[in-house]
Chain A
Amino acid sequence: MVTHLDIFGFLALTIFALLILTYVLVIQVVLLRLVHGYQEKQEQKFISIWGERIFNYLESSEKPETLIRIIRRGKYIYLLHYLREFFLMLKGDDLKRLSGLINETKLQPFLISHLKSGSPKKINEAAYFLGLAKSAASKNILRKKLQSQNASVFLSSALALARLNDVKAIFEIFRNARRFTFISKDSLLTIFSEYTDEICNPLLENLKKEKNALIISITITLFRHFKFYQAGETILKIMVYSQNKEVVIESIKYFSAIDFFEAATALRSLINHPKAEVRAEVLKALAVLGDKSFEQRIWDRMYDSEYEVQYNAVTTLLKIIPDSEEKISTFAYGNLNDRAAAIARMVLSERNIKN
């Protein structure tokens, strides 16, 4: 039989356990703050001693090893934290001198040892600096890290390889990225856009046989980013046969970005595509690639069921048909209760075109 005493005893024990837990947590927070505060002070002290010395190094011809030799290994991490901002903000000779501090000194083996460690935090930090410094010596280890089960390690290694412009790694990055379902297209684009346009040719060769819609879509986006004209014919074939909305939209954006007029006829057939986003994108592209021969089809889209399509139909007509302003104005102000006319009036007023 449960007595009052048992219940009170249980409650007292629970409260006691909670108090202990709170106490431990408070101690932990206090300790973390103390450690963090100490490290911050150390970092400030480091900067006050070495800041100007590093500036002098940047504009001199002093050997990087001469500077690094006199900094204690235990302080390397403060130095790296300090250099982070400069790596991101400087270019040209400044960046070369900064990279020399890593690539031509003991900092490189220090970072590579971190890269080989089992700690994701250390690996990510090392990959970050080795990538920024374009440390060729770290390429092979970074490639191995692409196979890591840890998503952050995969991402930091991929980013470093991209900054190193390691073209051979692109397909390994694609292959390994598929293991992490939560890695977004945007994350991969951020990585690949760190490469130079040297990746375009191998990507084009791969595109001709690639079946994965995400990879196709990323590849086309990258071609648009690099303004890589040579992929026009291949992408045109892909767009015509693709059932994937993303792939079709990326293809249309690509044609528009590189002024690929050969795609105009294919775009005509997509103007009635079942997906509204595609129809809207076609109209935007026709504003660049279209001509008078598209006029009637674009007028038809002013009666589309989707606002975005109707809006783009009006803006495209205004752009590609020389005398459309008057015609649209007559339509817009002659049909006051019509939805298409209301959208036309809105576009005209946005452009300060009065009746």
Chain B
Amino acid sequence: MIEKKTILFAEDTVHIAKLLKFKLEKEGFNLIHFPSGVGVTDGVIKFKPDLVMLDIMMPVKDGLTVLKEIKSNPSIADIPVILLTANSHEEYVVKGLQLGAIDYILKPFASNEIVLRIKNILKMR
């Protein structure tokens, strides 16, 4: 039996998070959702997901801070991280890529595009 890949994602927009969960679970992934950046790094350490997806703009703790924490922890640093951000915040993307994110997706997005990107990244590893 093929083992299901696990994706941990942090997204504060409730309905969008539900849509992503619905879509990716249908594609056969295990999904773990965090409604903000709080606790995400601990979650990554605990669940060791195959991929992490972070919204950059989140209250309390933003995606870039979480990314920095993940990349500075050797036990989880090699887990690929994708960033999600609004078109108007493209400047954060460069910073995110410098911090070690593997890819980024701009909002608005097509849900199929997210699925494809995730599959491609996981295939490459």
In the bound assembly, the distance between CA atoms of A117 and B16 in angstroms comes to 32
Q: Which of B13, B14, B19 touches A55 (beta carbons < 8 Å)?
A: B19
The reply to whether B110 and A89 form a contact with Cβ atoms under 8 Å apart is: no
B107 contact from A47, A58, A89, Cβ within 8 A = A89
Q: A55-B22, A59-B23, A82-B15 are in contact. Are A93 and B110 (CB under 8 A)?
A: yes
A70 at the interface (CB under 8 A from B): no
Dominant secondary structure at the A interface: helix
Question: CB-CB < 8 A to A322: which residues of B?
Answer: none
Q: Determine which residue in A59, A86, A89, A92 has the highest number of CB atoms from chain B within 10 A of its CB, and name it.
A: A89
The one of B22, B23, B26, B109 in contact with A89, judged by C-beta atoms closer than 8 angstroms, is B109
Nearest residue (CB) in B for A87 is: B108
Q: Of residues 125 to 170 in A, which have CB atoms within 8 Å of B's CB atoms?
A: none
Q: Which of A52, A58, A91, A93 contacts B108 (CB 8 A)?
A: A91
Least Cβ distance of A94 to chain B in Å? 5
**Chain B residues within 8 Å of A82, by CB:** 15
Known: A55-B23, A59-B23. A92 touches B15 (CB 8 A): no
What total of chain B residues lie within 8 Å of the partner, measured CB to CB? 16
| Residue contact A85 to B23, C-beta cutoff 8 Å | no
Chain B: interface secondary structure? helix
Say whether A88 contacts B108, CB under 8 Å. Answer: yes
Q: How large is the interface on A (under 10, 10 to 19, 20 to 34, 35 or more residues)?
A: 10 to 19
Question: Which of B16, B26, B107, B110 sits near A92, CB closer than 8 Å?
Answer: B110
Residue of A nearest to B110 (CB): A92
The one of B15, B26, B112 that contacts A86, using a Cβ cutoff of 8 Å: B15
- Taking the nearest CB of chain A, how far is it from the CB of B115, in angstroms? 10
**Chain B, range 87-110, C-beta contacts under 8 Å to A:** 107-110
Q: How many residue pairs, one in A and one in B, have C-beta atoms under 8 Å apart?
A: 44
Check B112 against A95 for contact (C-beta < 8 Å). Answer: no
| Residues in A neighbouring B73, C-beta threshold 8 A | none
Chain A residue nearest to B15 in the complex (CB): A85
Residues of A within 8 A of B13 (CB): 85, 89
In the assembled complex, the Cα of A310 lies from the Cα of B98 at a distance in Å of 33
Q: Given the known inter-chain contacts A82-B15, A85-B15, A89-B16, please indicate yes or no for A94 contacting B22, CB distance below 8 A.
A: no
Interface string of A160-194 (1 = CB under 8 A from B): 00000000000000000000000000000000000
A32 within 8 A of B: no
Docked complex: A44-58 residues within 8 A CB-CB of B: 47, 51-52, 55, 58
Distance between Cα atoms of A94 and B22 in the complex (Å): 14
The answer to whether the Cβ of A90 comes within 8 Å of any Cβ in the partner chain is yes
Say whether B15 contacts A91, CB under 8 Å: no
Distance between Cα atoms of A47 and B22 in the complex (Å):
14
Partner of A94, one of B15, B26, B111: B111
Q: Which residues of B contact A92 (CB under 8 A)?
A: 110, 112-113
CB proximity of A289 to chain B, nearest CB, Å? 24
* Alpha-carbon distance between A315 and B14 when the two chains are bound, in angstroms: 45
**Is B117 positioned at the interface, with any CB of A under 8 Å from its CB?**
no
- Determine whether the beta carbon of B110 is less than 8 Å from that of A91: yes
Q: Which residue in B14, B22, B113 is a CB contact (below 8 Å) of A52?
A: B22
User: Which residues of A are found within 8 Å of B108, using beta-carbon distances?
Assistant: 88-91, 95
> Once bound together, how far apart are the Cα atoms of A95 and B110, in whole Å?
8
Bound-state Cα–Cα, A93 to B107, Å? 14
| Alpha-carbon gap, A59 to B16, bound state (A) | 15
Question: Once bound together, how far apart are the Cα atoms of A308 and B10, in whole Å?
Answer: 42
Q: How far is the CB of B79 from chain A (nearest CB, A)?
A: 25
Q: CB within 8 Å of B: which of A62-89?
A: 82, 85-86, 88-89
A-B contact pairs, 5 of them (CB 8 A): A58-B111, A59-B23, A85-B13, A88-B108, A95-B108
Given contacts A55-B23, A86-B15, 18 further A-B pairs with CB under 8 A are A47-B15, A55-B19, A58-B19, A58-B111, A59-B23, A59-B26, A85-B15, A88-B108, A89-B13, A89-B107, A89-B108, A90-B110, A90-B111, A91-B110, A93-B112, A94-B110, A94-B112, A95-B108
